């Protein structure tokens, strides 16, 4: 299985602080059946910005040690990019990482609002050949109050990533139920742990998937895992048409994103 949202690099953002803590995460990932991790350290965040060369250097160093220890794990570079007006310029200048060097970028919105220029940034990224994947929309206050706001951004070409811990109940019942609503409404396309450490922000990758299976959303599990793999291979994702007004719950194949 592939985890496409993680904070695993040492002492660069709010993830692990030491090499030992990073390798504890790697061991936990392997125990949960994860074979591949895309590292998505923060970029353009108010508190953190991890430069591309730091990401690439740590990924190379950790992969070398992983291979030396014969651990069944592969790492890829990436960023969780905070929404900003100059994203496209920074990307084109090589200052921002996409996911595993693909045409997909993990895009983080402010937790309390949706800036008015969000749609224009999505349009500009798409025009530049980059498909934005909105990180953890279930944790955004505006999406929680009005999920149709997320639906509109998806109709404009964005995709969305749900967090394992949200589905597993880590952040409370209301966020868990909102996450379930978003999945059932075809407003989610990929699945990530957003792991930060082994104690307070662990992977919970398998637990989140088991919750979806308990809710009989087996198709969603299959699509999320397939799409995570497609990101690695830079392939079109399986995308479903959002259900109008969140009333229908069928999963009808709509289209695949064009590169």
What would the pLDDT profile of 189-204 be if each residue is shown by its tens digit?
A: 999 999 999 999 999 9
Helices (H), 11-117: 19-31, 52-68, 87-92
pTM for this prediction: 0.92
Beta strand pairing call for 253-256 and 238-240:
antiparallel
Measuring CA to CA, how many Å separate 244 from each of 36, 217, 233, 247, 249? 35, 19, 31, 7, 10
CATH of range 2-256; options 3.90.440.10, 3.40.50.2000, 3.40.50.450, 3.20.20.140: 3.20.20.140
Helices (H), 69-204: 87-92, 118-127, 141-145, 148-155, 164-168, 173-184
What would the pLDDT profile of 8-43 be if each residue is shown by its tens digit?
A: 999 999 999 999 999 999 999 999 999 999 999 999
Walk along the chain (259 residues) and give the pLDDT tens digit of each residue: 999 999 999 999 999 999 999 999 999 999 999 999 999 999 999 999 999 999 999 999 999 999 999 999 999 999 999 999 999 999 999 999 999 999 999 999 999 899 999 999 999 999 999 999 999 999 999 999 999 999 999 999 999 999 999 999 999 999 999 999 999 999 999 999 999 999 999 999 999 999 999 999 999 999 999 999 999 999 999 998 776 544 333 333 333 333 3
């Amino acid at each position: 299985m592939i985890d496409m949202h993680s904070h695993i690099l040492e002492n660069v953002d709010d993830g692990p602080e030491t090499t030992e803590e990073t390798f504890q995460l790697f061991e936990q990932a392997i125990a949960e059946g994860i074979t591949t991790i895309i590292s998505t350290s923060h970029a353009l965040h108010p508190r953190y910005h991890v430069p591309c060369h730091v990401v690439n250097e740590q990924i190379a160093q950790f992969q070398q040690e992983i291979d030396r220890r014969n651990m069944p794990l592969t790492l890829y570079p990436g960023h969780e990019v905070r929404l900003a007006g100059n994203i496209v310029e920074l990307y084109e200048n090589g200052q921002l990482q996409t996911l595993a060097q693909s045409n997909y970028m993990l895009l983080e919105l402010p937790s309390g609002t949706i800036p008015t220029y969000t749609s224009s940034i999505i349009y500009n990224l798409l025009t530049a050949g980059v498909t934005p994947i909105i990180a953890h929309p279930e944790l955004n206050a505006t999406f929680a109050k009005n999920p149709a706001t997320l639906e509109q951004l998806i109709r404009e070409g964005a995709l969305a990533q749900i967090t394992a811990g949200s589905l597993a109940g880590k952040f409370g019942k209301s966020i868990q139920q909102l996450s379930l609503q978003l999945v059932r409404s075809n407003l989610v396309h990929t699945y990530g742990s957003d792991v930060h450490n082994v104690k307070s922000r662990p992977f919970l990758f398998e637990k989140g998937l088991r919750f979806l299976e308990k809710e009989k959303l087996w198709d969603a599990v299959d699509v999320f895992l397939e799409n995570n793999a497609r990101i690695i291979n830079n392939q079109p994702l399986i995308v479903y048409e959002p259900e109008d007004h969140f009333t229908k719950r069928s999963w009808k194949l709509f289209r695949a994103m064009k590169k």
